[in-house]
Amino acid sequence: MTRQFLRIDLGLIIPALVLLILGLAGIFSLSFELFRSQFLFSIIAFLAFLFFSQINYQSLKNYSVLIYIASVIILFLVLLIGIESRGSVRWFEFLGFRIQFSELLKPFLALCLSSFLISKNSYSIKLFLLILALLSPIFLLIFFQPDLGNAIIYFLVTILVLFSFGFPLRYFFVTLLLIVMSFPILFRFLKEYQRERLLTFSHLKVDPLGISYNAIQSVIAVGSGMFIGKGFGQGTQSTLRFLPERHTDFIFATLSEELGLIGSAVIIAAFCFLFYRIFLIYKNSDSTFSKIFAQAAFFLIFLQFFMNIGMNIGITPIAGVSLPFVSYGGSSLLSNFILLGFLSSMSKGFDSKEVLEIR
């Protein structure tokens, strides 16, 4: 009987676990109840990683149409019967857990995008428009939840993958022109606080106790950590609750205040190592489908990384984007570990020296 091994790509899982542990430590310093929930999410997410790393990812592309249709239906149902919280309808409740499908569907829709692109294997305007047409209901259903951050991420990932695929630049110029023309219409559908965030982004001091409060407190927290930080649980901005959403959107500011520049550098270094590993998977992949998916995975994680840290240090508008593997939230954590599971499955065919075998 042939022995079966559980093979794990160390280059993917080690930096992810470093980020996860740092996130858990930061959350523990804020609240034991939140830590307990996140620890449970972490176990589930890691088991999901193990499961999806053993799946033949190539076979999933045969179900891409079904996955896409199911995703649209689920997002539509979220708007109809989802749970409302703070003016947003983004969640279903299942067995006492809230599931945010705009997060959970990311790895599966990345598979769909990869599958749709290879099905035609051309650079025609027809295929370009088809992909944008398929993106539209996903984008709009998430936009109207409203979840501006994830809507932007879905759009940018799609555009970046299409650009990397090799479509002519003129297609993107026309798309950009259409976006500029439609922006005033979309802007009207934004919630008032979202419009104010965009309008006051470059002038944070305009309303320091109002709409600019979150951004200002985050920058203060990051700066006050200085080089070595104040220590776990010693961050005044987070523990005294000057910093809102300290365990989700602003977890980087929380950790920067507690661990200082050294801790921030460790977080960024772990992400860079992860990005490099995904790049190697892309480079060594022997199929177009694998290469496109690796690109989509890279852009998914990188954009969240850039947007979250950017809004924590005041260089991008606040858009409600979590920091992968670090921020509190089961749906985001599960989504990102499933994404790594698919990538680990892809890396099995090459680079056998960089996998862990568990007998």
Query: DSSP labels for 281-348?
Result: HHHH--SHHHHHHHHHHHHHHHHHHHHHHHHHTTSS-------TTTSS-HHHHHHHHHHHHHHHHHHT
Give the pLDDT score at 122. 75
Say which residues have a Cβ less than 8 Å from residue 187's Cβ, sequence separation at least 6: 195, 198
d(CA 197, CA 180): 19
Do residues 229 and 13 make contact, with C-beta atoms less than 8 angstroms apart?
A: no
- Section 292-303 average pLDDT: 97
- Section 42-63 average pLDDT: 91
Band of residue 252 on the pLDDT scale cut at 50, 70, 90: very high
Do residues 16 and 337 make contact, with C-beta atoms less than 8 angstroms apart?
A: yes
Do residues 235 and 254 make contact, with C-beta atoms less than 8 angstroms apart?
A: yes
Segment 95-140, tens digit of pLDDT: 778 899 999 999 999 999 999 998 876 788 999 999 999 999 999 9
Read off the amino acid at residue 264.
S
Band of residue 199 on the pLDDT scale cut at 50, 70, 90: low
Give the pLDDT score at 121. 66
Per cent of the chain over pLDDT 90 is 59
d(CA 357, CA 337): 19
Question: Is the confidence at residue 4, as pLDDT, over 50?
Answer: no
The answer to the question of residue 202 being in a domain is no
Give the pLDDT score at 3. 40
Band of residue 208 on the pLDDT scale cut at 50, 70, 90: low
Do residues 273 and 335 make contact, with C-beta atoms less than 8 angstroms apart?
A: no
d(CA 340, CA 49): 7
Domain limits at 124? Answer: 6-193+207-358
Closest CA to 87 of 320, 324, 335: 320
Closest CA to 132 of 103, 154, 101, 111: 154
The answer to the question of residue 1 being in a domain is no
The answer to the question of residue 67 being in a domain is yes
Segment 310-359, tens digit of pLDDT: 999 988 888 889 999 999 999 999 999 999 999 999 987 654 444 444 44
Give the pLDDT score at 255. 94
Give the pLDDT score at 58. 81
The answer to the question of residue 168 being in a domain is yes
The answer to the question of residue 201 being in a domain is no
Count other Cβ atoms within 10 Å, centred on residue 281: 24
Question: Is the confidence at residue 269, as pLDDT, over 70?
Answer: yes
The answer to the question of residue 199 being in a domain is no
Question: Is the confidence at residue 6, as pLDDT, over 70?
Answer: no
The answer to the question of residue 248 being in a domain is yes
Segment 226-244, tens digit of pLDDT: 989 888 878 778 777 778 8
d(CA 114, CA 100): 23
Count other Cβ atoms within 10 Å, centred on residue 327: 25
Burial class (CB in 10 A: 0-12, 13-18, 19+), 213: middle
| Range with the largest mean pLDDT of 31-35, 44-48, 207-211, 315-319 | 44-48
The answer to the question of residue 174 being in a domain is yes
How big is the CA angle at 11 (ends 5 and 16), to the nearest 5 degrees? Answer: 100
Say which residues have a Cβ less than 8 Å from residue 81's Cβ, sequence separation at least 6: 92
d(CA 212, CA 25): 28
d(CA 261, CA 268): 10
What total number of domains does the chain contain? 1
Q: How many residues does the chain have?
A: 359
Band of residue 201 on the pLDDT scale cut at 50, 70, 90: low
Do residues 270 and 264 make contact, with C-beta atoms less than 8 angstroms apart?
A: no
